[in-house]
A = this chain, B = another copy of it.
Amino acid sequence: MEKGKISQDRIVTAATQLFYTQGYNQTSVSDIASEIGITKGNLHYHFRSKDELLEAVINHRLHYITDSLEQWDKEFPEPKARLKRFVKMVLNQESEIMRYGCPMGSLNVELGKCQDSLRNKARAMFDEFANWLEKVFKQMGHKDSKTLSKHLLSMAQGAALMSYVYADGKLLKRELKEIEKWIDSLAQK
């Protein structure tokens, strides 16, 4: 549609990548601008502040998450298959997680020590997954679906963090396999 959206999307895409690989505080607006070959002043026209750009980046991630979850719902009617699809998503990102950590987890860790507004924004990504997982566990007939949802996220985050710290892909695979065993052991309906 509008031409403007193209530049804006390019900025958000580049910022998403750089915020992930370098961290939010370690990435300057000049870094983002030069990454896509525009000037700082131009970027400022599209996003008046770095915070505003971060918000766009988080929204970009949120939309991607929402779309993925919707897709999974369509593809997998079975609750356990849905849970395993979640685990598979983590596995698919193995090399990125090893090098840069979990994009959701590390951003939350970094922004948690900034202003509260950013902290809440970043947490929304977790909520997206947490609510979806909760729904799945409820579908399986579990009363403590909230607890189970957070438990699964907790295990996945721990696995991602450890494999990042040790740059160890095998560690991630091992831990994810443990999570799958846990899923298998769950009662259903």
Contacts and interface: CB of A to CB of B under 8 A. Distances in A.
A166 B174 CA distance: 26
Contacts of A175: 150-151, 154
A79 interface: no
A110 B108 CA distance: 11
Nearest to A160: B158
A92 interface: no
Interface residues on A, range: 35 or more
A158 B164 contact: no
A147 interface: yes
A162 B166 contact: no
A154 B162 contact: yes
A14 to B, nearest CB: 17
Contacts of A155: 154-155, 158
Contacts of A106: 109, 113
A159 B150 CA distance: 9
29 contacts: A21-B113, A22-B113, A23-B110, A25-B26, A100-B113, A101-B109, A105-B109, A106-B109, A108-B164, A108-B165, A109-B109, A109-B110, A110-B110, A112-B164, A123-B166, A126-B165, A147-B174, A150-B162, A150-B175, A151-B175, A153-B158, A153-B162, A154-B155, A154-B158, A154-B171, A155-B155, A158-B158, A158-B161, A161-B161
